[in-house]
Homo-oligomer: A and B are copies of this chain.
Amino acid sequence: MIEIVGLDADDTLWHNEPLFTSRREQFCALLTRYEPQGVAEHQLYEVEMRNLRHFGYGVKGFVLSMIETAIEITGGRLENQDVRQIIEWGRDMLAGPIRLLDGVGEALEALAQEYSIVLVTKGDLLDQETKLARSGLGGLFKGIEIVSDKNAQVYRRVMSRYGVAPERFVMVGNSLRSDILPVVEAGGHAVYVPYEMCWIHERVPDEALAGATFHEIAHIRELPPLLKQIVAPGAEGPPSAQ
């Protein structure tokens, strides 16, 4: 029944959030030279959220937000060497090795034999393209959709682009906010594969999940057998979450 499998990239296929988390920790550590009593990470998060509508998701906006936050926190005493350091972190994040999650290669090869698989990810365009290239997985995908945000309208556009009905589309990812809820809203299937950590921006309150029907698996290797069970609306087995 399923024709197209949409796959999120960051923290679904390869490790990503740990890169940001460790940079946030380094950022706070760097600022203790100016503010020995320590810096609250939420200040960076607030600047990131303020900048999101201008800079969008991705490393470049993260770097600009770190620089702005550091200038605010230090009251304009941030040294040039630390501005350089922050930009250098960004370049490292954009060029670093890709660490696939365990079992991803085998799962995707199995999926690609049965379905058309499409990458659906947000972030900086060039960054996501080069990550896919470095991952070695590029050849398995029928299409790459790098989008500025993931909402129901965007998923409807993706389905329409591939000429697939919602009941024959499934999205797989680690973010309830971005990969699961908007797909369910658009009438598609969704499989939630939690990652070990989740950026606060991607979290959703429990109430937001009320009434949403989707599947949950602990490991991507459970995906190929699960998809065979998704046969038709109403004919599915009991969903693992609602």
A residues contacting B by CB (< 8 A) are 51, 54-57, 60-61, 63-64, 67-68, 71, 74, 76-81, 83-84, 87, 90-91, 94-95, 124-127, 129, 146-148
**Which B residues touch A63, using CB under 8 A?**
64
| Docked complex Cα distance between A232 and B1 (Å) | 42
Q: A125-B146, A148-B125 are in contact. Are A76 and B71 (CB under 8 A)?
A: no
Contact of A148 among B57, B78, B126 (CB under 8 A): B126
B125 touches A94 (CB 8 A): no
| Docked complex Cα distance between A60 and B91 (Å) | 13
B56 touches A124 (CB 8 A): yes
**Which B residues touch A81, using CB under 8 A?**
76
| Docked complex Cα distance between A13 and B90 (Å) | 32
A126 touches B56 (CB 8 A): yes
A94 touches B55 (CB 8 A): yes
A126 touches B60 (CB 8 A): no
**Which B residues touch A148, using CB under 8 A?**
125-126, 129
Closest 10 CB pairs of A and B: A56-B126, A60-B60, A76-B80, A126-B148, A125-B125, A71-B80, A125-B148, A54-B94, A54-B91, A129-B148
B54 touches A83 (CB 8 A): no
Among A57, A77, A80, the one with the most B-chain Cβ atoms within 10 Å of its Cβ is: A80
| Docked complex Cα distance between A94 and B54 (Å) | 6
**Which B residues touch A90, using CB under 8 A?**
54, 64
Among A68, A76, A84, A126, the one with the most B-chain Cβ atoms within 10 Å of its Cβ is: A126
